[in-house]
Amino acid sequence: MQLPRHTDTIKILQQSLLPGLADISEKVLAGLSISPSEGLLLFEKAELGFLGVLADVVRQRKNGDKAWFIRNFHIEPTNICVNRCRFCSFSHHFSNSKWELTVDDILAKVDEQEETVREIHITGAVHPKRDIEYYGELLKKIRSRRPGLHIKAYSAVELDYMIKKAGMDFTAGLKYLKDCGLDSVPGGGAEIFDETVREEICGMKTSSRDWLDIHRAAHVLGLPSNATMLYGHLETYAHRIDHLERLRRLQDETGGFNAFIPLKFHSYNNEMKDIPEVSVNEDMKMYAVSRIYLDNFPHLKAYWPALGRKMAQVSLSFGVDDMDGTINDSTRIYSLAGAEEQSPVMTVSGMKQLIEEAGRVPCERDSFYRPVL
């Protein structure tokens, strides 16, 4: 680990820092959590280079120079959705067509995957006619087909709809799905927790409280999950810190989050297309402050289909330790929103090269961040 080098660098930087920033750096070096007001100060006043150094302290403390990745693929069962989120380019409201995969279609996609693929990620639109029994049976059939495949499935938004439709509480619904084969819960649907902004950009969607309650219930049942934030639209820095604070508090309570994933807003083909996309500097600031603030999250992930592989590589210098996975050209959510990666697929050798070029050590993992040898 290179923590002493970073310590020396920060000590030099402290001579020219605002007093509040110098105090923050001392807390981070000591392994202490920063406050919401200090997080806001980082967003508003800290130079990007300083943020990168400080975030790297946290990254190295938790993961050394490892940069993780997994062999995975996505299934997006349908784009037919009961919600009409203004930032969405995926649902049938903004697409040229409606589509829904049958169970046989999904199983065929599972059968196409090589045996070395370790994780399936299932998430998509909230279909009005599909219920918890449908999604439970799907889990059972995938499990019977590939017993060793980790099934990470159904965002909190999908779970909220299917569980309430079944007349169940979150714990009962998640237990049913766990018994059917669910292994973990993805982090999608968090968007931004501030209720005023949430009402404006996705007012029909699951509330912030229910999103957090679903993940809390999952953690209690032994189902780990991820968390996300959609940034770069109508939110302020204060809204971002509020979002991170709510996540940090829940993680203090349950310890069930594996990774945090900042997701950049892309403006193509949606009702918020007039909002300019934020700069690369703003992207890296978001990653760095997230790594510093969420000191109780073991991992910070750059979802490269959303960010682009080169910028994901750069993010490894701003606190990121996880590059997600090979994907196998199996997702369209961000390509439909105009992301650079129109056909997201990464070979294992390509992933390793990207990581090594950034000065990190590639480490293939399973879904629980255990190294795969």
Residue bearing the bigger pLDDT, 175 or 8: 175
Tokens 């820092």 sit at which residue? 17
pLDDT tens for each residue of 122-136: 998 889 999 999 999
How do the domains of the chain map onto residue ranges? 3-62, 70-364
Torsion on CA atoms 171, 207, 332, 113, rounded to nearest 10: -10
Sequential DSSP letters for 87-140: T-SSSTTTSSS--B--HHHHHHHHHHS-TT--EEEE-----TT--HHHHHHHHH
d(CA 265, CA 234): 10
d(CA 246, CA 259): 15
With residues binned 3-state (H G I as helix, E B as strand, rest as coil), the percentages for the chain, rounded to 5, are 45, 15, 40
Q: Left, alpha or beta for 168 (phi > 0: left; psi -120 to 50: alpha)?
A: beta
CATH of domain 70-364: 3.20.20.70
Looking at every residue in the chain, the average pLDDT score rounds to 90
User: What pLDDT was estimated at residue 2?
Assistant: 42
pLDDT tens for each residue of 354-371: 999 999 999 999 999 999
d(CA 204, CA 101): 24
Nearest to 74, CA basis, from 306, 316, 369: 306
Packing angle, helices 156-165 and 208-220, rounded to 10:
90
Nearest to 332, CA basis, from 79, 36, 68, 162: 79
d(CA 351, CA 277): 26
pLDDT tens for each residue of 192-245: 999 999 999 998 999 999 999 999 999 999 999 999 999 999 999 999 999 999
Would the pTM count as exceeding 0.85?
A: yes
d(CA 41, CA 289): 10
Expressed in angstroms, the distance from the first to the final Cα of the chain is 22
